[in-house]
Amino acid sequence: MIENQKPTALITIFGATGDLANRKLYPSLYHLYKKDKLDQKFAVIGVARRELMPDQFQEQVRQSILEHVGTNENLDEFVSHFYYHSLDVSNTEHYHDLKNLVDELDAHYQLNGNRVFYLAMAPQFFGTIAESLYKQQLKSDNGFNRLVIEKPFGHDYPSAKELNDHIRLAFSEDEIYRIDHYLGKEMVQNIEVIRFANAIFEPLWNNRFISNIQVTSSETLGVEDRGRYYEGSGALRDMVQNHMLQMVALLAMEPPIRLNTNEIRSEKVKVLRALRPLEGDEISNSFVRGQYNAGVSKGKQVKSYREEEHVDSNSNTETFVAGKIMIDNFRWAGVPIYIRTGKRLTEKSTKIVVQFKDIPMNLYMKTEETLNPNLLVIHIQPDEGITLHLNVKKSGQFVETTPVKLNFSNKSVDGMNTPEAYEKLLYDCLRGDATNFAHWDEVALSWTYVDPIAKAWEQTKESSFPNYSSGSMGPDEADKLLEKDGFHWWPVTDLDVENC
Ligand code: BG6
DSSP secondary structure of 64-80 = HHHHHT---TTHHHHHT
Instruction: Give the integer Cα–Cα distance in Å for 320 and 339.
Output: 11
Nearest CA to ligand 1 atom 4: 239
CA of 98 to the centre of ligand 1 (A): 32
Q: Which atom of ligand 1 is nearest to the CA of 182?
A: 14
Is 328 annotated to bind ligand? Answer: no
Spatial strand order in the sheet of 375-381: 287-290, 320-325, 337-342, 210-218, 349-356, 375-381, 385-393, 401-409
% of the chain surpassing 90 pLDDT: 85
- DSSP helix, strand, coil percent of the chain (3-state; round to 5): 40, 20, 40
Whole-number Å distance, alpha carbon 113 to ligand 1 midpoint, is 34
Band of pLDDT at residue 1, cut at 50, 70 and 90: very low
What confidence tens digit (pLDDT) does each residue in 303-360 have?
Answer: 999 999 999 999 999 999 999 999 999 999 999 999 999 999 999 999 999 999 998 8
150 lines ligand 1 (CB under 6 A): no
Q: Which of 243, 379, 389, 439 is catalytic?
A: 243
Tens digit of pLDDT for each residue in 187-244? Answer: 999 999 999 999 999 999 999 999 999 999 999 999 999 999 999 999 999 999 999 9
How far, rounded to the nearest angstrom, does the alpha carbon of residue 470 sit from its chain's CA centroid?
Answer: 23
DSSP bridge pairs for 217: 341, 350
Q: Does the CB atom of residue 238 touch ligand 1 within 6 A?
A: yes
Residue of higher predicted confidence among 21 and 371: 21
**Ligand 1 mutation pick, 239, 345, 420, 423, max ligand atoms within 8 A of CB:** 239
Mutate to test the pocket of ligand 1, among 20, 181, 233, 317 (most ligand atoms within 8 A of CB): 181
DSSP 407-459: EEEHHHHHSSPPPPHHHHHHHHHHHT--TTSB-HHHHHHHHHHHHHHHHHHHH
Q: Is the pLDDT of residue 128 over 50?
A: yes
Q: Which of 427, 420, 421, 438 is closest to 11 using CA atoms?
A: 427
d(CA 407, CA 176): 39
pLDDT for res 21:
95
pLDDT at 52: 94
Is 238 assigned to a binding site? Answer: yes
Cβ atoms of 244 and 339 closer than 8 Å: yes
Using N-to-C axis directions, what is the helix angle for 245-252 and 261-274, rounded to 10°? 100
* Cα(151)–Cα(266) distance, integer angstroms: 21
Q: Is 420 touching ligand 1 by the criterion CB < 6 Å?
A: no
Beta bridge pairs of residue 147: 117, 176
* pLDDT reported for residue 418: 58
Q: Say if residue 71's pLDDT is above 50.
A: yes
Ligand 1 centroid – CA 30 distance (Å): 22
Mean pLDDT, residues 24-44: 93
- Compute, in angstroms, the gap from residue 318 CA to the centroid of ligand 1: 15
Q: How far is the CA of 270 from the centre of ligand 1 (A)?
A: 26
Name which residue sits closest to atom 14 of ligand 1, judged by CA. Answer: 182
What 3-state DSSP class applies to 178? strand
Q: Does residue 219 line the site of ligand 1, with CB under 6 A?
A: yes
- For residue 452, the CA-to-ligand 1 centroid distance in Å is 23
Query: Is 243 assigned a catalytic role?
Result: yes
Q: Write the pLDDT tens digit of every residue in 157-186.
A: 999 999 999 999 999 999 999 999 999 999
Q: How far apart are CA 66 and CA 71, in angstroms?
A: 6
Terminal Cα distance for the chain, rounded: 41
* 238 Cα nearest atom in ligand 1: 6
Residue 413's pLDDT band (boundaries 50, 70, 90)? very low
Whole-angstrom distance, CA of residue 240 vs CA of residue 234 = 10
Distance CA 75, CA 413 (A): 30
Q: Does the CB atom of residue 180 touch ligand 1 within 6 A?
A: no
For 257-309, how does the pLDDT look when each residue is reduced to its tens digit (9 = 90+)? 998 999 999 999 999 999 999 999 999 999 999 999 999 998 999 999 999 99
Mean pLDDT across the chain: 93
- Global pTM? 0.95
For the chain, how big is the Rg over CA atoms in Å?
Answer: 24
For residue 72, the tally of other CB atoms under 10 A from its CB is 11
List, for residues 460-500, the tens digit of each pLDDT value: 999 999 999 999 999 999 999 999 999 999 987 777 766 54
Question: Is 185 annotated as ligand-binding?
Answer: yes
Residue-level pLDDT at 7: 85
